[in-house]
A and B are shown apart, each in its own frame.
Chain A
Amino acid sequence: MDKIPILKIGDILLVTIQVDMHDQLAVSLQDDLTARIVKDHARGVLIDISSLEMVDSFIGRMLGYIAAMSQALGAQTVVVGMRPAVAITIVELGLPMENIQTALNVERGVEKLQRAMDTSDDGTKR
């Protein structure tokens, strides 16, 4: 079965979702990613969804689960690269996004994670 690749860049794991995800693939991503967070001592996770042509409630729920699971393991998750048509659609669909941090693109996402990691390093806000 195909897998979604996970790349390590410093303390961050980068997941680029490039396929139209079927449900089993989404579930195996949760397993793979949580294992990699532990193995690589990752402190941040970037999920690039710029190739996704749609986000339905299943994928939205999976992104929320990944964010919560990563959080439980001490890593922050930022979802990046959402297409404008997808943003419009998920708002009308009513998908709750409060628990998911987002950024416009990978670069902004890295900045956001870096700030969060700097803050947690010394326990104070810079």
Chain B
Amino acid sequence: MSPMEPETVELKTSEDIVRARQRVRTCMIDHGFGLIDQTKMVTAASELARNTIDYGKGGTMRIESITDSGRTGMRLVFLDKGPGIKDIQQALKDGFTTGQGLGLGLGGSKRLVNDFEIWSEPDKGTKVTITRWR
């Protein structure tokens, strides 16, 4: 599988969420991921892209393919310079939200991927990195 050049998708409006989903779907297909892997990753991307817009005041999604000891992975990095998350452990709990949603975005997307990393600092921003391996 040929590695792809990393790409960056702007996340500002809800149309950008649709664009991000479509880009992730295409990259997953190009790298030979099955339908269930695609669906889980696209759903996780949708949740995190919406968080970036609703809570992070907008940002970017970086998408890249990676390899590790012969395995192919798809990695997404959601970055914003928004207000940050005060209590990450609390934010990861299902049902916790400071907004209008169901509070499933962070915890739910964590369950849909193989690796999940989050960094956040108040007034600096938030960075969420997710990876799904084939």
Spell out A's residues near B (CB within 8 Å).
20-24, 53-58, 60-61, 83, 85-86, 88-90, 92-96
Encoded as 1 (CB less than 8 Å from any A CB) or 0, chain B from 93 to 122 comes to 010000001101101110110000000000
Is there contact, CB below 8 Å, between B25 and A85?
Answer: no
Which residues in B have their C-beta under 8 angstroms from that of A21? 18
Within 8 Å of chain A (Cβ to Cβ): is B14? yes
Partner of B39, one of A20, A58, A85, A94: A85
Is there contact, CB below 8 Å, between B22 and A92?
Answer: no
Closest to A64 in B: B102
Is there contact, CB below 8 Å, between B36 and A85?
Answer: yes
The interface size of chain B toward A, counting residues with CB under 8 Å, comes to: 27
Q: A20-B18, A57-B108 are in contact. Are A93 and B36 (CB under 8 A)?
A: no
Is there contact, CB below 8 Å, between A57 and B18?
Answer: no
Within 8 Å of chain A (Cβ to Cβ): is B35? yes
Q: A88-B36, A89-B40 are in contact. Are A58 and B112 (CB under 8 A)?
A: no
Could you tell me the distance between the alpha carbons of A24 and B108 in the complex, rounded to whole angstroms? Answer: 23
What's the least CB distance linking A123 to chain B, in Å? 35
Could you tell me the distance between the alpha carbons of A85 and B101 in the complex, rounded to whole angstroms? Answer: 23
Which residues in B have their C-beta under 8 angstroms from that of A95? 102, 104, 108
Which residues in A have their C-beta under 8 angstroms from that of B18? 20-22
Is there contact, CB below 8 Å, between B102 and A53?
Answer: no
